């Protein structure tokens, strides 16, 4: 099914479902009557799921929280482009789940195989079934490889997307760049919006350019962008490309890849076939597959969609009760970023803790986003946005006077970027004071 961008564009004027404080939110009839501990199942322990789990146990420790996460360690997508530049290595953006495991009631290392929203159960591939009162889905995005002809399982052995950071993606792409001859061509793609991390592809071009500048100065970068224009921080990226990588980076708008040939090493658009030495193909995206299992991949019109419409005040699905969605899977006007996932994880944890206590949730929540992009090995820039719930328009709107973007790149912002990353990692994972980070800006 093709991604429907119309539902994404409806968000700024969209409606959210009404907050329902019922069921588990009921108060005990007398102090002597104990309420059953609510069972909360969290699928995914990224920036949204891990943050939610930690803060819910902090604010409502009675909750029985089960986290289902297949990965043994947390690997950060923010900062992963610095691995391609050679600034950091995979181990520098990889951190343990130890504190999350110590905080929650159950940490299950497995994949989810099915979700029954009627019976309110989640079943894993390992055969375990968990009942829930509240289900929190924080699975990020599903990459739609079938939307690019030839991008099958065999092609994916050599052509990497590296949009979910891991050794076999980010690490493998770095190795391919190292093996590429000087004077070679690196072809990368940008999917049509909405997609995870709007400035990410353009930062990636900077970071690969940084590596080429030092190790392979005769090489070239071609960006095949499915969008008609640079999707984020355009003036800043154009200035950085001109200043640091003049003549090395070629951007082509309205060039959505239609097909890929791993044997011939070509990417085909509707205009031509582009030959490459290394291909980094990022396909279109939609809400994570677990959202499809739960039946919450629904647009604002109530019909099947690519993303999940939510009540902004509780992050509950507008179509399936007791299912809450965090981070990249949601149909919102927020950027799909680690910062937003971390922030909304806290808001959802707060909302559920209030509901469990029989209290009303915040009628006007605030969501913040801060996004840094590295432009060279020593400079960066940022964009920051504050969104507030508007009851009249039933939507989250940017707060006037509370938003900003860098005027230009700077070394100071590079230092801020490093501090931001370490703070959001520590906050998401509950890393102990004095944790020895090794990542550089």
3-class secondary structure, 419: helix
The C-alpha atoms of residue 202 and residue 394 are separated, in whole angstroms, by: 33
pLDDT surpassing 80 at residue 111: yes
Measured between alpha carbons, how far is 349 from 361 in angstroms, rounded to an integer?
11
Alpha carbon 346 to chain centroid, angstroms: 16
CA distance 158 to 154: 8
Q: Looking at 22-26, 156-160, 225-229, 350-354, which range is the least confident one?
A: 22-26
- In whole angstroms, give the CA distance from residue 389 to residue 382: 24
Least confident of 31-45, 161-175, 339-353, 376-390: 31-45
Summarize pLDDT for 163-200 with one digit per residue, the tens: 999 999 999 999 999 999 999 999 999 999 999 999 99
The candidate with the shortest Cα–Cα distance to 305, out of 276, 325, 321, 322, is: 325
Residue 272: other Cβ atoms inside 10 A: 11
- Name the nearest CA neighbour of 130 among 70, 64, 73: 64
The backbone torsions φ and ψ at residue 398, rounded to the nearest 5 degrees and listed phi first, read -60, 135
Radius of gyration for the chain, computed over Cα atoms and rounded to the nearest angstrom = 22
d(CA 95, CA 78): 13
Position 231 scores a pLDDT of: 95
Indicate the average pLDDT of the chain. 92
What local confidence, expressed as pLDDT, does residue 66 receive?
98
In DSSP notation, 96-137 reads --HHHHHHSSEEE-S-EEEEETTTTEEEETTS-EEE-SEEEE
pLDDT of residue 303: 85
Q: Tell me if 261 sits within 8 A of 268, measured CB to CB.
A: yes
Q: Assess whether pLDDT exceeds 50 at residue 13.
A: no
Least trusted range by pLDDT, from 54-58, 302-306, 400-404, 420-424: 400-404
Q: Dihedral of CA 349/352/356/361: which sign? A: positive
Q: What is the residue whose two structure tokens read 């052995």?
A: 157
Percentage above 70 pLDDT, the chain: 92
Q: 15-19, 38-42, 217-221, 350-354: which has the minimum mean pLDDT? A: 15-19
In this predicted structure, the answer to whether residue 31 has a pLDDT above a threshold of 70 is no
pLDDT at 429 over 50: yes
Could you read off the pLDDT of 124-136 as tens digits, one per residue? 999 999 999 999 9
Pick from 407, 405, 417: which is nearest to 379 by CA? 417
pTM: predicted TM-score of the whole model, two decimal places: 0.91
Tell me the pLDDT band of 34, cut-offs 50, 70 and 90.
low
Residue, of 26 and 320, whose pLDDT is higher: 320
Q: Please report, for residues 2, 95, 225, the alpha-carbon distance to residue 173 in angstroms, rounded to integers and kept in the order given.
A: 27, 21, 19
Residue whose pair of structure tokens reads 């399936």 in the numeric block: 320
Q: For 204-215, how does the pLDDT look when each residue is reduced to its tens digit (9 = 90+)?
A: 999 999 999 999
Domains of the chain: 5-143+286-363 (3.50.50.60), 146-283 (3.50.50.60)
Query: Using one digit for the tens of pLDDT, what is the confidence trace for 347-360?
Result: 999 999 999 999 99
Per-residue confidence band for 326, with pLDDT thresholds at 50, 70 and 90:
very high
Structure-token pair, residue 422: 């370490």
Place of tokens 């039933």: 394
For the chain, percent of residues with pLDDT exceeding 90: 87
CA distances from 218 to 23, 176, 186, 221, 393 (A): 64, 16, 12, 10, 53
Confidence of residue 24 (pLDDT cuts 50, 70, 90): very low
What local confidence, expressed as pLDDT, does residue 203 receive? 98
């Amino acid at each position: 099914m093709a991604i429907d961008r119309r539902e994404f564009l409806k968000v700024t004027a969209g409606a959210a479902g009404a907050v329902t404080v019922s069921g588990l939110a009921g108060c005990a009839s007398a102090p002597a009557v104990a309420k059953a501990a609510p069972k909360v199942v969290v699928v995914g322990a990224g920036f949204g799921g891990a943050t939610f789990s930690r803060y819910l146990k902090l604010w409502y420790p009675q909750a029985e929280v089960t986290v289902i996460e297949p990965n043994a360690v947390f690997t950060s997508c923010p900062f992963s482009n610095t691995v391609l530049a050679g600034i950091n290595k995979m181990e520098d953006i990889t951190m343990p789940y130890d504190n999350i495991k110590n905080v929650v009631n159950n940490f299950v290392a497995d994949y989810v195989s099915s979700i029954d929203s009627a019976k309110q159960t989640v079943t894993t591939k390992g055969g375990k079934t968990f009942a829930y009162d509240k289900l929190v889905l924080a699975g990020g995005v599903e990459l739609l490889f079938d939307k690019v002809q030839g991008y099958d399982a065999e092609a994916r052995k050599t052509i990497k997307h590296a949009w979910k950071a891991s050794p076999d993606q980010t690490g493998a792409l770095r190795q391919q760049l190292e093996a590429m001859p000087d004077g070679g061509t690196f072809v990368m793609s940008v999917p049509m919006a909405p997609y995870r991390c709007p400035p990410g592809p353009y930062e990636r071009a900077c970071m690969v350019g940084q590596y080429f500048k030092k190790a392979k100065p005769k090489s070239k970068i071609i960006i095949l962008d499915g969008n008609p224009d640079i999707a984020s921080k355009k003036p800043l990226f154009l200035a950085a490309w001109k200043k640091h990588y003049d003549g090395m980076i070629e951007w082509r708008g309205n060039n959505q890849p239609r097909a890929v040939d791993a044997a011939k090493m070509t990417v085909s658009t509707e205009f031509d076939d582009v030959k490459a030495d290394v291909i980094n193909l990022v396909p279109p995206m939609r809400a994570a597959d677990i959202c499809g299992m739960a039946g919450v991949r629904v647009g604002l019109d109530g019909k099947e969609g690519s993303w999940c419409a939510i009540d902004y005040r509780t992050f509950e699905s507008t179509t399936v009760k007791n299912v809450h969605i965090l981070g990249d899977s949601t149909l919102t006007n927020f950027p799909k970023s680690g910062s937003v996932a971390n922030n909304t994880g806290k808001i959802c944890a707060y909302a559920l803790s209030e509901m469990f206590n029989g209290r009303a949730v915040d009628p006007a929540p605030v969501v913040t986003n801060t996004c840094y992009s590295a432009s060279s090995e020593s400079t960066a820039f940022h964009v920051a946005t504050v969104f507030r719930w508007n009851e009249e328009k039933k939507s989250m709107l940017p707060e006037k006077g509370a938003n900003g973007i860098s005027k230009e790149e700077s070394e100071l912002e590079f230092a801020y970027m490093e501090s931001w990353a370490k703070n959001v990692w520590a906050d998401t994972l509950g890393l102990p004071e004095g944790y020895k980070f090794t990542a550089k800006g």
